[in-house]
Structure 1
């Protein structure tokens, strides 16, 4: 019996053994609403290729041409009369920030900044504020409305979400000369501003509430948490010693704070994650021993130190912190990391790093609880130092993602999935491509590639309003090469591609995909011509919009691809080396005057690869027919254009399922087989404080899959017992005490009953992940802002939007 007691004690203690999670920083996400330009000086893959036959009947038109022509004299005259030039004041300095205020308003704010390097208290620095009501064709300086104050460059223009028309600017005031800071607020798209003296100095950007226009949240420089319920007029301090903060649903605020009232960076593993639902009147501690946390629309993530000297675990909640579950993933060592690549209301894409500094790992996809995961892709290429990958969500079609893998020989190859990570395949090369190698595929340069290859000016571009269209820089061969890439376009969500433009370009989508514009990325950074296409990149027309070349800084258009205007931003350099910010805004409304009617559209079945099969177009259990613009139609979709689609459910097949936890899919097979080290028929795991037993045939439906009937495997989860999670323990001592009590009671029962209880191995032990988030402000020279779960961020965490590339959970 003594031997039995010893064995049980050891087993009980093993339940609390953890493995450390090393959090890295996320890959950057483009912020389309606010753009910053700065003046620059002239200066082994486990995936096999999958070929898809395409039925010409599903194409909207036969390709017309793949060439470029110069505008006719008539076209030139129309475009010239609708090309608008504006030069800003000559002392406007070295950077300019743009922000679109409200959707479809045409209002843009431009904040120019002039800073003297190494100056004290911004001596000699200045800023000017401009406003446009016509999509950037003309600007009026409105610096007087903010009393010609110098605006803080690090905070820039803080614009409210959607149609709020609300704006906040933070004045730069020396911390030693004023009791607090000063902000200027506007509720009418910057027609008028109200000056507000703050009782504190801003320590981070102000966080707008996603739905209530009056609610604001921020931190002061002394790490106090402040909230306003009247759009900044009055502020209330609701807590001190706050590390990170995020809006939750409704009036919920999440924040992490130290119980001893300190802000020592070394004490993060002792943080309390708190929730308030009444703006600080009452608080609830939802998690103890927190290192950091993050929140998306559906998932609340937290990194937890379960014991001093031991690695961290990460827990997930889908009910705003009332209950928690631990992610079921392979264990990692201290030199590995986890990264959330994408998240929505249905699932999570998770990257798990391989041991050692290899630059790759394995991608997993979750179920709808964010706890159970299945292997999706091996050798996923990821930069653990900067937290960047080439993972791209093709937002216009469900379940389509593109990323890159690192092969055994060190080459980088692109792969695509059409079913949310269920199956990955190589990208088909454009028709007529010739390669000198046996394997010939298209390879796409993403965010990580842009850091590796400076000749790639833009990542892939896709938008929910432009169905099926993907514009990307790529290279045709057996792997990505360090050469000048060309621009490739797909009109069907990545199944087929055309080589659209020779060499690197900047590009933008207008009029819901009816118009594409591009500017060549020249080696000397000078531009004077614009290219545009009305047939999704098959034919291009060259328009010389400027008489002389100028230094190019950026191409800007209103987020959402609804606009018919595009602006080319840059600056000119005079003989005395002085520089002036300039912008050319081109409006295509006079060139494309015809409004599209029914005859300009054609029905298109997404994901169609074989029209002779009943299951043709069935992806994620659903067929979708879209009304799309014909390539031969030269007309305007218009701002009121709404995508017309009709869908129907498909019968379930094995392709509608991921392999369940403990199972994997063999290469070139749809069958899920049991992991070799999983011997028990039943799988036990800890889910939100309950020990669950999983009985499964090895399949679980892909989150968001809409199939019906057909192949329906057996899968059931049973509640077995309570499993105390260290994530909810108040401290290390209380956790140990609770464990001793549980073990003592357990052993007492065993001695009284006179038999030995067989303890199963807890699969929920030793399986962790780390949540990471970042939002990139697009800069001309710098392309990443680094804040992760183990690197406490002062920046707000916005929700992940599946229909936009403005925000990304990373």
Structure 2
């Protein structure tokens, strides 16, 4: 904690009952500059003197009851504490030097000189041999010093190259490796959302996005990223920075809430498995007056504001606590999309599966006694003398007066780890008045300490599915309405039983996308064979399940292993590997290109069954297996392509305003294939996507504008751009119309036309 100290410093060690001046303890002639409180031990305090008078540091280990003064040989510009070791700290000086201390500021050691927030080049070398002439540079350019992120076992940096950013990651202090995003992704900004459970959640703003980001989830090393959610909305903060509308629910791993832009609307969705599946929020069934709410998914749902408060002493638009898992309090609205009008306050007691409305106006809500009680106060724009408190997770609220004069509440201090239950309100009676502090000891409202009879259990679930992130978790919480205090030894998770993994417990690997049937298929840009050597072997598995009495046995595992799942014609060998009791099984295969084969008493072989496709296209491959135990069949669609070598955009140089014009793209070679065209027209932020090589478009304004077409086939992406003029004179426009009416060309020749 850092705070600029102006004039006197007033401190309290009994939660605001009494105060004393810190200046009396350090000397009346000492001019104080900054105060720091150790984040891991609040009894330890550092106070810096004003460098214009002297360079010293004052250290206290008893919450400011006494101080020791130490002279410094440098002027401290900023201090940074270690997140776990309470005596470790870093100091940055005015002369661009970095110092470290391991005894809470009593002694300082120089770490490095010339530490400056400018672009530097990182190099790697062996100790004592950094002057070697042949040392290696790990990055192709200069590292953006502001991009450095150190979080858990990961280190991230950014290297601007070729007009765009390239990102690198180091896992467990190993060498830096370039982050692998999908091939079509051209990131212009990247934020690390979380690194929990040995996976990286990253928000990436693509080259064509302005106010949205895409969410990606990585493998363990943080190298290979797959898409988890597209077009997450951003909200501009008071300082002008963009804040992502994404919220990690405290106390429940893998649970996130996001606001997604979809079809020009913003909708709130939730995931319980780190982005594997997302769904809309079910609105409450009734309002505060008990009237029925007719809100049917997906046309109507509950939408939440996910902005965090820029004031750390206010709750913000949404609040959760790890000490109260499953309880979510948020500002929101009911309807087809997110709105900031006609909002109310909503609460969920079962981790977002069901919701109730608690207020019609916006409130700040704080958790007391580890979530056993909730306190709510109206937004600080309106003065108030009352607060609301609930002991049954927001079902009933009682009003209490905490001030005789209405107060603009600027914030509330709640010490969650304290033995005594104290809340300190601070605010002002008017915009001209000084700050007022109001201390509330709410311990008296609890009649006793909770016993076993005061607790109940609840099961974490996702719409009735008890397995969340691979576990069946049972939580213990106080029964709603019981006026007892939770003890220090209160345990939240009663039991956690591992579940058998099923399909929805798995994510699609890098380069694969989940289709409508729930299966992972290679993306159009991905070549699995390039990953097998450097990443890991990737198979598409088809399972034949045969029931025998009441037991289920796996009879067959068929792998479709190809050079590229989106095959190129020259390398289109499809190999089917068979495992199992093949000698007593008949199998029929239809490759979808007019070739069908049957096998009887087939012996197992590592080479498998081979088939070569001689043309590009999408083929339906089906297999039927049958033996004395039964039979089953399965189907997949195989995408065979040939590489795209060249694309040329055909568009007129001049078009007529408000008149439809044809734009087309020529792709070479011209073999039959499945090609996806992405058309970027003028300043449109979203492309027009088609499977046809031409589109029609009307330009409604004058000026010079560019048209870009991106062609995607297999693992190839090419693009071409043309500039079109829409600024032509009226006379030339008339002549072009006459030309279209097949009048003689001699009637159209003029100096103006020839100059065009």
TM-score after normalising by structure 1: 0.60
1:540 and 1:193 map into 2 onto residues whose CA distance is 46
Deviation at 1:184, TM superposition (A): 1.7
Deviation at 1:698, TM superposition (A): 8.3
Contact 1:557 1:567 in 2 (8 A): yes
2:373 and 2:35 map into 1 onto residues whose CA distance is 29
Contact 1:512 1:562 in 2 (8 A): no
Give the aligned partner of residue 67 of structure 2. Answer: 193
Query: Structure 1: which 5+ runs fail to align?
Result: 1-33, 36-96, 98-110, 114-125, 244-262, 278-283, 611-615, 686-690, 700-708, 716-759, 762-810
In structure 2, the CA distance between the partners of 1:620 and 1:585, relative to structure 1 (3 Å rule), is same
Name whichever of 554-563 and 221-230 sits farther off: 554-563
Residue of structure 1 aligned with 2:259, choices 375, 380, 404: 404
In structure 2, the CA distance between the partners of 1:626 and 1:334, relative to structure 1 (3 Å rule), is closer
Deviation at 1:517, TM superposition (A): 0.5
Deviation at 1:215, TM superposition (A): 2.1
Question: Would you say 1:171 and 2:19 are equivalent positions?
Answer: no
2:553 and 2:341 map into 1 onto residues whose CA distance is 48
Whichever structure has more strand as a proportion of its residues is 2
In structure 2, the CA distance between the partners of 1:310 and 1:547, relative to structure 1 (3 Å rule), is closer
Give the aligned partner of residue 401 of structure 2. Answer: 544
2:526 and 2:188 map into 1 onto residues whose CA distance is 23
In structure 2, the CA distance between the partners of 1:583 and 1:563, relative to structure 1 (3 Å rule), is same
Give the aligned partner of residue 212 of structure 1. Answer: 85
Give the aligned partner of residue 143 of structure 2. Answer: 290
Question: Would you say 1:606 and 2:460 are equivalent positions?
Answer: yes
Give the aligned partner of residue 180 of structure 2. Answer: 328
1:511 and 1:311 map into 2 onto residues whose CA distance is 49
Give the aligned partner of residue 677 of structure 1. Answer: 525
Contact 1:298 1:345 in 2 (8 A): no
Residue of structure 1 aligned with 2:322, choices 459, 464, 468: 464
1:484 and 1:186 map into 2 onto residues whose CA distance is 50
TM-score after normalising by structure 2: 0.64
Alignment of 1:392-791 (within 5 A): 392-409=247-264, 411-432=265-286, 434=293, 439-447=299-307, 458-483=316-341, 485-521=343-379, 523=381, 525-559=382-416, 564-573=421-430, 579-607=433-461, 609-610=463-464, 616-667=465-516, 669-681=517-529, 683=531, 691-697=534-540
Give the aligned partner of residue 576 of structure 2. Answer: none
1:353 and 1:489 map into 2 onto residues whose CA distance is 31
Q: Which has the larger radius of gyration?
A: 2
Give the aligned partner of residue 232 of structure 1. Answer: 105
1:432 and 1:157 map into 2 onto residues whose CA distance is 50
1:673 and 1:231 map into 2 onto residues whose CA distance is 55
Give the aligned partner of residue 57 of structure 2. Answer: 183
Deviation at 1:495, TM superposition (A): 1.0
1:145 and 1:299 map into 2 onto residues whose CA distance is 44
Residue of structure 2 aligned with 1:319, choices 172, 178, 181: 172
SS in 2 for 1:623: strand
In structure 2, the CA distance between the partners of 1:182 and 1:345, relative to structure 1 (3 Å rule), is farther
1:710 and 1:200 map into 2 onto residues whose CA distance is 73
Residue of structure 2 aligned with 1:144, choices 8, 16, 24: 24
Deviation at 1:571, TM superposition (A): 2.2
Question: Would you say 1:242 and 2:115 are equivalent positions?
Answer: yes
Deviation at 1:139, TM superposition (A): 2.7
Per-residue deviation, residues 185-229 of structure 1 (Å, max 9, x unmatched)? 21222211222222112222x122233333221211222111122
Deviation at 1:428, TM superposition (A): 1.1
SS in 2 for 1:145: helix
2:407 and 2:187 map into 1 onto residues whose CA distance is 47
Contact 1:509 1:561 in 2 (8 A): no
In structure 2, the CA distance between the partners of 1:329 and 1:670, relative to structure 1 (3 Å rule), is same
1:713 and 1:645 map into 2 onto residues whose CA distance is 39
2:304 and 2:124 map into 1 onto residues whose CA distance is 40
In structure 2, the CA distance between the partners of 1:272 and 1:190, relative to structure 1 (3 Å rule), is farther
1:684 and 1:347 map into 2 onto residues whose CA distance is 21
In structure 2, the CA distance between the partners of 1:304 and 1:422, relative to structure 1 (3 Å rule), is same
Higher relative contact order, chain-length normalized (CA < 8 Å, sep 6+) = 1
Deviation at 1:286, TM superposition (A): 9.5
Give the aligned partner of residue 674 of structure 2. Answer: none
2:231 and 2:463 map into 1 onto residues whose CA distance is 28
Deviation at 1:561, TM superposition (A): 9.0
Contact 1:435 1:477 in 2 (8 A): no
1:661 and 1:406 map into 2 onto residues whose CA distance is 24
Per-residue deviation, residues 768-807 of structure 1 (Å, max 9, x unmatched)? xxxxxxxxxxxxxxxxxxxxxxxxxxxxxxxxxxxxxxxx
Per-residue deviation, residues 31-73 of structure 1 (Å, max 9, x unmatched)? xxx59xxxxxxxxxxxxxxxxxxxxxxxxxxxxxxxxxxxxxx
Contact 1:563 1:639 in 2 (8 A): no
Aligned length: 529
Deviation at 1:563, TM superposition (A): 6.2
Give the aligned partner of residue 597 of structure 2. Answer: none
In structure 2, the CA distance between the partners of 1:356 and 1:372, relative to structure 1 (3 Å rule), is closer
1:696 and 1:479 map into 2 onto residues whose CA distance is 40
Per-residue deviation, residues 282-305 of structure 1 (Å, max 9, x unmatched)? xx9995543232201111112235
SS in 2 for 1:589: helix
Give the aligned partner of residue 569 of structure 2. Answer: none
1:571 and 1:476 map into 2 onto residues whose CA distance is 34
Contact 1:215 1:231 in 2 (8 A): yes
Per-residue deviation, residues 643-674 of structure 1 (Å, max 9, x unmatched)? 2420111111011111001111124x431111
